[in-house]
Chain A
Amino acid sequence: MDYKCTRCKRTVEIDYQFTGIRCPYCGHRILVKERPTSIKTIKAE
């Protein structure tokens, strides 16, 4: 699962074992999950 760093805007992959929730490029700890490019179908109810 790819996330995006809110500071450096780079796509990062989280390594839970060694780095935890942290951007490997800038060290920022706020990452957001990117919206998938697929079409999401939902019921309106």
Chain B
Amino acid sequence: MEIDVLELSDRSAKFILSNTTAAFANGLRRAMLADVPTLAIDDVNVYNNTSVLYDEQLALRLGLIPLVTSFDDFVPQDECTCEDGCPACVISLTLSVEATADEGRMVYSGDIVSSDPKVQPAEMNIPIIELKVNQKVVLEGVAHMGYGRDHAKWQAGVACGYKNLPIITIDGCDRCGACVNVCPRNILCLGDKFVEVSDESRLNCSLCGLCQDACEIDAISVTENESSFIFTMESDGSYTVNELIINAVNTIKRKASSMGDILSTL
């Protein structure tokens, strides 16, 4: 298997995964979505809420705020050795905001105060609720590690997807330009002798096949490489993309290893 990184930042990545199967690519995608544990607010103790929003709706919004997570410092509550919650599986976050008598204010994720300085909201400007004059919200959120397969609030990977690498073959082109005109992504251009496509723009091909249909002499063909995939993924901010991929791959390795152990006992 080969990986060719096209774009990489803390929050998003694009890479080509070659010499592998669609099953493995899909396994990696699913592991990033569902099998990498992250922190999210799970229980909310509401002390006071005079805002217009129901406590339950407020709790849901708090749960969906991504929290920066250190994979090595926390464990999911089900897998922790303690019984009643310990610093390794339970994090307390408080939110205490009151609007003044003169004007209301918006409550943002940055107003949340964490008991652990390493655990902070991934974004500080996520709006939670707008308070009118004299309204206040006082609550404590209890965050646990969890898996994306149980609830979307624990889903670290977002917008994870892949497509097969397109193969565009041009042979015997008469330079009529019909395919150039119909391509919705403008990846084809008229060269000196025939239609051309650059390596970079080839990756943007959506495999729609409109160019094939437009060509009257069948000079262009668009097929897909069955063993190469263009992978696009984003992180919600709880991990960097690097950490997310490594954790997802480790999860697959762990599952494969336990599967091997089970099979060896049969």
Contact = CB atoms under 8 A, between A and B. Distances in A.
Contacts, number: 40
Nearest to A44: B63
A44 B47 contact: no
Contacts of A45: 42, 59-60, 63, 151, 153
Interface string B135-175: 00000010000000001010000000000000000000000
B55 A44 contact: no
B44 A42 contact: yes
B31 interface: no
A42 to B, nearest CB: 5
B201 interface: no
A41 B63 contact: no
B144 to A, nearest CB: 10
B141 A44 contact: yes
Interface residues of A, number: 8
B153 to A, nearest CB: 7
A42 B141 CA distance: 10
Contacts of B151: 45
Nearest to B138: A39
A24 to B, nearest CB: 25
A16 B123 CA distance: 51
B41 A40 contact: no
Given A45-B60, A45-B63, A40 B46 contact: yes
Interface string B28-67: 0000000000001111111111100001100110110000
Nearest to A39: B45
Contact of A42 (B47, B56, B153): B56
Interface string A28-44: 00000001000111111
Contacts of B141: 44
Interface in A2-45: 35, 39-45
Contacts of B43: 41-44
Nearest to B49: A35
B54 to A, nearest CB: 10
Contacts of A35: 48-50
Nearest to A40: B46
A45 B43 CA distance: 9
Nearest to A43: B43
Given A40-B46, A45-B42, A45-B151, 14 more contacts: A39-B45, A39-B47, A42-B46, A42-B55, A42-B56, A42-B59, A43-B42, A44-B43, A44-B60, A44-B62, A44-B63, A44-B153, A45-B60, A45-B63
Interface of A: 35, 39-45
Interface of B: 40-50, 55-56, 59-60, 62-63, 141, 151, 153
